[in-house]
């Protein structure tokens, strides 16, 4: 297990607590059918990319477009930066959001690329506070099926997913820890961290 700083440990604990209280707080205008429709469309696009036979680079570009189309990217990137976002300038936040979107698409796109020859299927939808949890099952060739879960909200005025779990791995908490570690390794320099996101995996 990687060693983490006290700041990272504190941030991770805070994130774990915040995960129950700081998620998008829109009234429950979104319904089960809307949440399922969003994830059905998202899964459909992911399955098309998986089956496209395109190169790895082309797939990652496609995954980035899917991430931007269906994901609440502003919330996800702000959550990932965590407390360090308080000292970031407007310009740094904008640059981080842009680079983070590409980084996250490349990172999680590489996971979805493992699904080539398989598929995702929506299995269940349930309300949780002010959002919906949509569970899908990933069917891979030569491997046991496993669960990929999307959390969907209409915080932005449109239905978007704001968190994702692959085999229980929480995107928001994982990326907050990863980004915090990147900032620590660069002595707290946000500009260096943002620049290094271009090649991070």
Segments forming the whole domain that contains residue 95: 27-196
15 domain residue, yes or no: no
Strand-pair category, 169-170 with 131-139: unpaired
Number of separate domains in the chain: 1
pLDDT of residue 29: 66
Please report the pLDDT score of residue 108 as a whole number: 84
pLDDT > 60? residue 8: no
pLDDT in tens, 87-114: 999 999 999 999 999 999 888 887 787 7
CATH code of the domain covering residue 32: 3.10.450.710
Note whether residue 64 is domain-resident: yes
Predicted local distance difference test score (pLDDT) of residue 164: 94
Residue 180 falls inside a structural domain: yes
Contact 147, 137 (CB under 8 A): yes
């Amino acid at each position: 297990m990687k060693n983490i700083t006290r700041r990272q440990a504190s941030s991770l604990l805070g994130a774990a607590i915040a995960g129950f209280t700081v998620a998008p707080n829109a009234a429950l205008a979104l319904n089960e059918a809307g949440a399922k429709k969003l994830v059905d469309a998202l899964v459909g696009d992911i399955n098309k990319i998986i089956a496209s036979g395109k190169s790895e680079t082309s797939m990652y570009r496609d995954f980035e477009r899917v991430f931007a189309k269906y994901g609440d990217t502003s919330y996800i990137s702000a959550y990932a930066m965590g407390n360090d976002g308080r000292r970031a300038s407007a310009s740094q936040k904008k640059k981080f959001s842009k680079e983070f979107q590409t980084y996250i698409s490349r990172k999680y796109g590489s996971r979805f690329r493992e699904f080539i020859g398989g598929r995702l299927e929506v299995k269940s939808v349930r309300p949780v506070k002010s959002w919906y949890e949509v569970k899908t099952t990933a069917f891979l060739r030569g491997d046991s099926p496993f669960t990929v879960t999307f959390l969907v909200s209409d915080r932005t005025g449109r239905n978007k997913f704001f968190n994702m779990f692959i085999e229980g791995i929480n995107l928001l908490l994982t990326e907050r820890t990863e980004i915090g570690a990147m900032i620590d390794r660069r002595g707290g320099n946000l500009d260096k961290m943002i620049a290094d996101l271009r090649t991070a995996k």
